[in-house]
Amino acid sequence: MRIHVSFIDRVGITQEVLAILGARNLNLDAVEMVPPNVYIDAPTLSTQVLEELHHALLSVRGVQAVTVVDILPGQRRHLQLEALLAAMADPVLALDSVGRVLLANPALIALYGRDPRDEFLGQLLGDDELLATLIEQGFRLPLREVLLNGQTLLLDATPITDAGALVTLYPPNRMGERLAALHHDHAEGFDSLLGDSPPIRTLKTRALRVAALDAPLLIQGETGTGKELVARGCHAISARHSSPFLALNCAALPENLAESELFGYAPGAFTGAQRGGKPGLMELANQGTVFLDEIGEMSPYLQAKLLRFLNDGSFRRVGGDREVKVDVRILSATHRNLQKMVAEGTFREDLYYRLNVLSLEVPPLRERGQDILMLARYFMQQACTQIQRPLCRLAPGTYPALLGNRWPGNVRQLQNVIFRAAAICESTLVDIGDLDIAGTSVARQSDIEIDSLEQAVEGFEKALLEKLYVNYPSTRQLAARLQTSHTAIAHRLRKYGIPRDL
C-alpha cells in the first residue's frame, strides 16, 4: 500500500512519521520527500494497520492528512520516462560525463541485442576515438555516421549540462524525412496543378493512374511547365507518401559532386570529405522517392551507375567498397528529346527504357487556353501577398496579350511577368503597359510561327490604332477614346510603329 502524508513543514517531522511506521516493523520499499509531503511505499501495510496508523500519524504535530495513493510521484515519472523511450522509434541512450551508458530505450536494445547499460559508447560502437572526440567537444558534434551491428546510422548528441548527453541514432531515411519536410511547401496531390483546360485535365487523369504504380516514371515537357510539381503530386498519392521525397537537379552539379550527392561517399573518399562518410539521397530517401530533374544532362558515367541501381537497387558510395541496398522509386524529368539523344548516342538506350517504364507529358502553357488567365490571377494574388501591397487585378485589356503570347518559359515565365507587374505597377489595376511580354512576342515573330489567336489579336490592335490615330493623334487622346491608360496606348503604338508606318 502507498500513502501520502501532508504536513506543515518543520524540523524533524519526517523522522517522527517514519518512526511510527518503523515501530510496527513495516518494510518500506520507497520513501519520497517532496516537502511539505512525504510519500511512502509499504507493501506489507494492510488496511487494518493503516486504520491504527491513521490516528497515530495525525497525532504528530503538523500532520494535516493521510491518504492512500496509487503510485508515488517518482514512480510515476519513471513510468512516464519508460513509456516515452519505448514510444521512440529511433535508438536512444543516455550517457554520463565519461561516456558510460546510463539508459537505453527498447529500440536500441533490440538493435544491439542486449541492454548496454554500464558499457561505454566507444565499446558499443567499436569506436573509442569517437567517444574521446565527443567528450573533448563537450558532446557537441555535427551529425556523425556510425555503424552498429553492421547498420549505418547517424549519431546526434545533445549535451546535458555537467551530466553527459542524450544520444540518438537515426537511420539515414529519418534525416531524409526531415529534409523533405523542410521543402514541403506545396499542395498535396495534384492540387498544385492549377487549371481546368482539356490538356491539364488529361494530364491529371493519367497522372492519377501512374502515380499508384510503383515503377520508374519519366516526366517530359518544356522548361517551366511544372514537371517537379507533377513528380511531387505522384509521390503524394503513392504508397510511399509518408516517406521522403528528395530531388536532385542533374544539370546543376558537376559529375563528381552529383555522384556524391546521389550515392554518398565513404570515410576518407576525398580531401575535405566529412569524417565518417556521408549518405547520399538514395539512402536518405530509403522507402521513398528520388526525383532526378534534367536527367538528360546526366554524364555517361552516372548514367551507367544509375542503370545498375535500377537493375538491382544496390550501389557503392564514392570511394567505398561496401554494397548498399535501398528501396527507392525513381522519378525523372527532362525538357530534352531523349529518343533523339539515344539515336545520337548521347544517352544510354538501356537506361532510357528503364526510366521510361511509365511516362507523362506536361503540356506547354500556350496550349492551356483560359488556364493562362486563371494562373495569372493566382500569381497576382500570390505576388501582392509576398511584397505586402494591396491586392492588384488585371485589366481586361491584358487578356488578349496574355492569351496570345507563346510563353516560351511557360508557367515559370508567366509567374515572373506577373510578379514584376505587381512590383512596379503604381495602380491596383495592372494594364498591358505594366506587363513585360510584348517585347518577347515581337522578337520571336521572325523565327517562330505565330499561332492564330496571337495573329488575330495583334492584327486587330494594329488596324484599330492606325484608324483612330488619324483623329486622336496623341497617346492621351487615344487612351481617353479607348478608355485605357496612356501608358498602355504608348506601349502599343511603339509596338506597331505608329505613326511612323502611317
| CATH number of the domain that residue 309 is part of | 3.40.50.300
Task: Choose one of 45, 73, 101: the last residue of a domain.
Answer: 73
Local confidence band at 217 (pLDDT 50, 70, 90 cut-offs): very high
Burial 276-291 (b: 16+ CB within 10 A, else e): bbbbbbbbbbbbbbbb
Residue 313 corresponds to which cell in the numbers above? 537497387
Shared domain check, 247 and 128: no
Cβ 291 vs Cβ 245: under 8 Å: yes
Cβ 30 vs Cβ 41: under 8 Å: yes
Asked whether residue 82 is assigned to any structural domain, the reply reads no
Shared domain check, 283 and 189: yes
In degrees and rounded to multiples of 5, residue 16 shows phi and psi of: -65, -40
Q: What share of the chain is helix, strand, coil (3-state, %, to 5)?
A: 45, 20, 35
Neighbours of 24 (CB within 10 A): 13
DSSP H or E stretch at residue 482: helix 475-482
By CB atoms closer than 10 A (0-12, 13-18, 19+), residue 200 is buried
Shared domain check, 382 and 248: no
In degrees and rounded to multiples of 5, residue 303 shows phi and psi of: -60, -45
Domain region containing 262? 179-361
Place of cell 575535405: 272
Tell whether pTM > 0.75: no
Asked whether residue 80 is assigned to any structural domain, the reply reads no
- Of the candidates 190, 194, 185, the one whose C-alpha atom is nearest the C-alpha of residue 207 is 190
Residue 502 is predicted with a pLDDT of 45
- CATH code of the domain containing 459: 1.10.8.60
Cβ 377 vs Cβ 394: under 8 Å: yes
Cβ 200 vs Cβ 371: under 8 Å: yes
Asked whether residue 184 is assigned to any structural domain, the reply reads yes
Local confidence band at 274 (pLDDT 50, 70, 90 cut-offs): low
Lowest-pLDDT range of 59-68, 274-283, 364-373, 383-392: 274-283
Place of cell 488619324: 470
Q: How far is the C-alpha of 291 from the C-alpha of 306, rounded, in Å?
A: 13
Overall number of domains in the chain: 4
- CATH code of the domain containing 27: 3.30.70.260
Place of cell 521513398: 288
Q: What is the DSSP letter of 101?
A: E
Mean pLDDT across the stretch 112-117?
90
Residue 38 corresponds to which cell in the numbers above? 512525504
Q: Which of 148-157, 230-239, 247-256, 455-464 has the highest mean pLDDT?
A: 230-239
Instruction: Taking each helix axis as running N to C, give the angle between helix 255-263 and helix 300-312, from 0 to 180 degrees, rounded to the nearest 10.
Output: 20
Task: Choose one of 73, 101, 133: the last residue of a domain.
Answer: 73
Asked whether residue 104 is assigned to any structural domain, the reply reads yes
Cβ 279 vs Cβ 145: under 8 Å: yes
Local confidence band at 227 (pLDDT 50, 70, 90 cut-offs): very high
Asked whether residue 78 is assigned to any structural domain, the reply reads no
Asked whether residue 81 is assigned to any structural domain, the reply reads no
Shared domain check, 382 and 352: no
- Of the candidates 424, 374, 373, 395, the one whose C-alpha atom is nearest the C-alpha of residue 488 is 395
Asked whether residue 108 is assigned to any structural domain, the reply reads yes
Residue 363 is predicted with a pLDDT of 94
Task: Choose one of 130, 152, 170: the last residue of a domain.
Answer: 170
Shared domain check, 372 and 311: no
Shared domain check, 416 and 329: no
Q: How far is the C-alpha of 124 from the C-alpha of 113, rounded, in Å?
A: 11
Residue 226 is predicted with a pLDDT of 92
* Beta-bridge partner residues of 66: 5
Shared domain check, 319 and 431: no
433-449 pLDDT tens trace: 888 875 434 334 433 34
Shared domain check, 290 and 149: no
Shared domain check, 142 and 184: no
Shared domain check, 234 and 130: no
In degrees and rounded to multiples of 5, residue 435 shows phi and psi of: -100, 125
Local confidence band at 483 (pLDDT 50, 70, 90 cut-offs): confident
